[in-house]
Homo-oligomer: A and B are copies of this chain.
Amino acid sequence: MSNDNSKNEKPSTDEVETFNIDKLNNFSEWFTEIVKRAELADMRYNVKGFIVYRPWSTISMKLMFDIYEREMDKFGHQPVIFPSVIPESNFQVEADHVEGFAPEVFWISSAGSSGSLEERLALRPTSETAMYPLYSLWVRSWRDLPLKLYQSGKVWRYEGKSTRPFLRGREFIWIEGHDVFATLEEAKAQTREDMQISINVMQKRFGIPFIQFQRPEWDKFAGAVHTYAADTLMPDGRFLQLPSTHLLGDNFSKAFNIKYMDAEEKEHFCYQTCYGPAISRIFGAMIAVHGDNVGLIFPFEVAPIQIVIVPIPKRGQIKMINQFCEEVKELLHDLGYRVQLDNTERRPGDKYYFWEMKGVPFRLEIGQKETKNSQVTIFRRDTLEKAVVNLDDLEKELQRLSKEYFQVISKRALDIFQDRLAAAETLDELVEHLEDRKMVRIPWCSIDLNGENCAEEIKDQLAGAEVRGIDVQETETPAEDATCFICGEPAKCFVYVGKQY
C-alpha cells in the first residue's frame, strides 16, 4: 500500500498487489485504500485538511467540470473569474452570512517582508460577498436582468470535522452560480432550473442517484430564504450532501444594494439565487457509488482512460502482435477515445488486475489469435464479461457498448440507492431502519423553526440521525391522524432522516 512507483501511464514491473475489499461492509477502508492504490490523491501534504489531487482524479474532474460548465452555459449562464480574497468589510455586510461563515474563514493579515495590509482579507469560503458589490454596479436597468454568472475554482473553509479525501476538506474545487432576477418568481424558477441541472449532469452523465430536498429552516445556507440540496447515499447507508441551490430572496440585494430600474423608471431591489456543485465531492460520490470490491468503475464519459489495450505476447509473434496493438490504438485515438496501450513488461494477468482496480471501462486483449483474425477481445469493467469483436465492427460496437455500460452502472447504483430507502410509521420502525443503514421517510410536524426541537431530539436519541428535509418530488401528505413521532403534534409533511457520512 506504500506509494510505489506505479505511475499511471507507466506501471512498474514490481509485483502487483491485488485489491479486494468488501465495499459494502468495509466502506470506510475501501474508500481510504482505493484513493491510495488508484493514486487518486495523496494525503501527505503537510497542512491539515489539504490534499493533492493526482492525475488519475484530476483528468476525470476536468472532464466533469467541462460537462457541468457546458450545462450551465446551456441554461444561459456565462463564466467569470472573481478574486479569491474578500476584504473583511465586504464579508461583514450580510449579518446571517457572516455569522454562518466567520468560524470557517482563513484570514490573510500580512504580505511581503514588512507589508501590513490596509484590511484583513478573507480567503473566500464562498463568493457572495466578493461578487455582489460588483453586481450592484453592473445591474442598473431591467435590461440587465436576468444576470446569470458562474465561476469555477477553489474555496477554503476551516472545517472542524475530520477530513476525508474528496468528501470533506479545507480546500475544495467547485462551480458557483450566482443569478439575479427582477422578480421573486423568476428566482424561484431558477432554483428549480438548478435542480434540473443537477439531474441532467449528476444523474444523467455521472450516474449518481440522489434525492433533492427542501432543507429545514434550521439547516439553511447562511443568508438564504430557502435551501434545496441533493443527498446521495454512501455504500454504508450514510448520506452525503451534493449540490445545493439557495433562494436568497432580497436578503443580499438589500445588504449589497443591488437594484434595477423598471421600464417605468421605478427602482426595485433584485431577487437572487446561488448554486454550488462541488466537483471534488461529486467525484468522491461518483467513485463511491460505482466502485466494486476489486476497485474503481469510472463512467465511460469521465474515465481518465476509457480503453486500455493489453497485448498477450506469444513467442515469435511479439512484433506482429505489437504492431496490431499500435494499429488498434491509432484507430481508437483517431476516433477520439482516450486510449492507452500498456506495453510494460508486466504479465498480462497483472495488467488486468491493475487496470480493473483503476476502473478503466474497457480492456482490449490482443494476442496471436486476435492479430491473425483482425479481432479484439473486449473485457467490460461493468459486467466483467468478455466478447470477441472484429476490428471492422469495433467503432460501432464501442458506441453501443459505452451506452449500455453507462446504463448498467447507473441502474446498479440506483437499485442500491432505492434499496436503502425505507418508510417508518413508528419510532421503533425508524430505529430499526436506521440500524439497517437506511434513509427513512417519516411523518413530521414541521420543517419551520418550530420543528427544530424535534430534530434535536432525533439527533440526541438516535446517535446523530438528521432530518434532511422534504423531498421536492414528494406528492403525498401524511394521513389526517398521523402525528410527529417526537412531539405528537399533527404531521404536516414527510421528511427523510438519515445519518451523515
Contact = CB atoms under 8 A, between A and B. Distances in A.
A102 B62 CA distance: 32
A5 B105 CA distance: 34
Interface stretch (A45-53, A197-205, A232-240): A45-53
A106 B109 CA distance: 8
Best-buried of A81, A85, A87, A133 by chain B (most CB within 10 Å): A81
User: How many interface residues does chain A have, given as a range?
Assistant: 35 or more
Number of chain copies forming the complex? 2
B58 A79 contact: yes
B134 A42 contact: yes
Contacts of A137: 3, 42, 44
A143 interface: yes
Contacts of A105: 111-112
B59 A111 contact: no
Interface stretch (A6-14, A244-252, A397-405): A6-14
Interface string A145-164: 00101000110101000000
Interface of A: 3-5, 7-10, 12-13, 42, 44-48, 50-55, 58-59, 61-62, 78-85, 87, 89-90, 102-113, 115, 118, 121, 123, 130, 133-134, 137-138, 140-141, 143-144, 147, 149, 153-154, 156, 158, 171, 173
A7 to B, nearest CB: 6
A291 to B, nearest CB: 21
A43 to B, nearest CB: 11
B42 A54 contact: no
A83 B51 contact: yes
B110 A109 contact: yes
Contact of A83 (B50, B54, B134): B50
